[in-house]
Structure 1
Amino acid sequence: MIREKKRSVIIVAGGKGRRVGGELPKQFQSIGGEPMLMRAIRAFYEYDYGMRIVVVLPEEARLLWSRLCEEHRFSLPHTIVAGGDTRFHSVRNGLEEISADETVGVHDGARPFVTSGLIGRCFEAAFENQCGVIPVVDEVNSVRQLTETGSRMVDRKQFKLVQTPQVFPAGELKKAYKTAFDPSFTDDASVAEKWGMRIQLVEGEETNIKITTPFDMALAGYYCQLMANR
């Protein structure tokens, strides 16, 4: 029997995002003429029109988001869920909207340039292997590890930089997120791995940047111009 592929995604945009500067949290700031969060939502919708899209926002930002959607005539279907005290709690809240028989991705709302190719690579690997899947890219900088006496050189080939979407069998991820919060949880894979789920790496994309600083915003604007001129 062929198993139906049910895909969903939780787009986490529950933070304050003040490091990037500006009056608005970064997920609502404009890149190429529209809020970056809208770009992230559209990427998943265009990959799979039937995908369930859950967006986690700060409770106090619901009205702002509604106004922005009206202003930009943004009507792609999505469900809004209130964020929690940490990213861990925000994802846990989002998982309440996800069925156990789905394959679910978790994506940073501040990664607006995710492509259909990357999304598909993550979902297909998770569906085929029934494990957690995370996209990674190579570390190109020299890396040093801090020690008690200073620091030491390490081989950068032994390190990967982690991106999103991170994709999992939803039933397993829901179980993993029933664990108590631990400050060592840096992403969804760390939660899933501690619970016992196997994690597979797939190739990420250099353009799938996370916007955190004013420099990132400037880079994003430049990238939008490049795409518009193609």
Structure 2
Amino acid sequence: MQARKNIAVIVAGGSGQRMGADKPKQFLHLSGLPIIQHTVQAFLDALEDIEIILVLPKAHLAMAAAIIPKLSKPGSITIIEGGATRFHSVKNGLAQIDDPAVVFIHDGVRPLVSSQLIHSCREHALKYGNAIPAIPMKDSVRQLFPEEGINKAVNREHYKIIQTPQTFLSEIIVPAFETTYNESFTDEATVIEQTGHAVHLVDGEEGNIKITRPLDLIIAESLLNNS
């Protein structure tokens, strides 16, 4: 039987607009290093044999290429051009996968993902076919009914906040992305769900934050300095 690889498709398509920055958010510095460098290194540290497919807009490829030599295993990293949407960028990354693999699909701006979470997702994906990290909602939640002009409280225990790395066996995720793009595809779990696969949730981590706004960068800096 052919050995199963470990492959991380890291998607970094942000522009930095919401950060109010003059560069894409994945290249902003966190503790002196670009965010994307922290993210990629987290996977290199977690799994000795990991292969990284780094997916970025064409305009950012050169910036990423300059970072690769600074990582611990630059030969394990491939940089490719993304697409018009996250779906198309992930699809481009998945197109590079030919062999049986555990595939991690991760946001480039979640630099604090732990080795423990990566291993947990891998183990559950091997058992269930997929593993989607999720954390509880802490705030009260209300559902809006715009046509009626009202809103109603909902039970937050019935909802989860989804994170990455969303992790899959390649024989599930690669064929799923052969479908036509739909605006309802908010993440990779929604893509496999439309093929009939049940989504398996695993415990995520509060510290596995996605950096999209200036406050997130301050929080990430604090978490990193106190880890």
TM class by smaller structure: over 0.9
Matches within 5 A, 1:1-230: 4-69=3-68, 73-74=70-71, 76=73, 77-129=76-128, 131-147=129-145, 148-227=148-227
In structure 1, what is the Cα distance between the partners aligned to 2:130 and 2:31? Answer: 33
Amino acid at match of 1:134: I
Unmatched 5+ residue regions in structure 1? Answer: none
Shift of 1:52: 1.2
Deviations 1:91-138 (Å, cap 9, x if unpaired)? Answer: 000001112511101000010000010001111101122x22100000
Give me the TM-score of the superposition, normalised by structure 1. 0.92
Q: Residue 22 of structure 2: SS of its match in structure 1?
A: coil
Deviations 1:166-202 (Å, cap 9, x if unpaired)? Answer: 0111122111101111011100000110112221010
Shift of 1:209: 0.3
In structure 1, what is the Cα distance between the partners aligned to 2:183 and 2:153? Answer: 27
In structure 2, what is the Cα distance between the partners aligned to 1:30 and 1:21? Answer: 14
Unmatched 5+ residue regions in structure 2? Answer: none
Distance 1:91 1:115, change over 3 A: same
**Aligned-pair Cα RMSD in Å:** 1.5
Superposed structure 1 runs of 4+ greater than 6 Å apart? none
Aligned partners of 2:132 and 2:189 also within 8 Å: yes
In structure 2, what is the Cα distance between the partners aligned to 1:161 and 1:63? Answer: 33
Give me the TM-score of the superposition, normalised by structure 2. 0.93
Shift of 1:211: 0.5
In structure 1, what is the Cα distance between the partners aligned to 2:127 and 2:68? Answer: 36
In structure 2, what is the Cα distance between the partners aligned to 1:183 and 1:100? Answer: 29
Distance 1:102 1:217, change over 3 A: same
Aligned partners of 1:132 and 1:192 also within 8 Å: no
- Give the % identical residues: 40
Amino acid at match of 1:62: L
Q: Residue 153 of structure 1: SS of its match in structure 2?
A: strand
In structure 2, what is the Cα distance between the partners aligned to 1:15 and 1:97? Answer: 22
Distance 1:25 1:222, change over 3 A: same
Shift of 1:55: 0.4
Amino acid at match of 2:224: C
Amino acid at match of 1:11: I
Pairs aligned (count): 223
In structure 2, what is the Cα distance between the partners aligned to 1:68 and 1:9? Answer: 17
Amino acid at match of 2:17: R
Shift of 1:16: 1.7
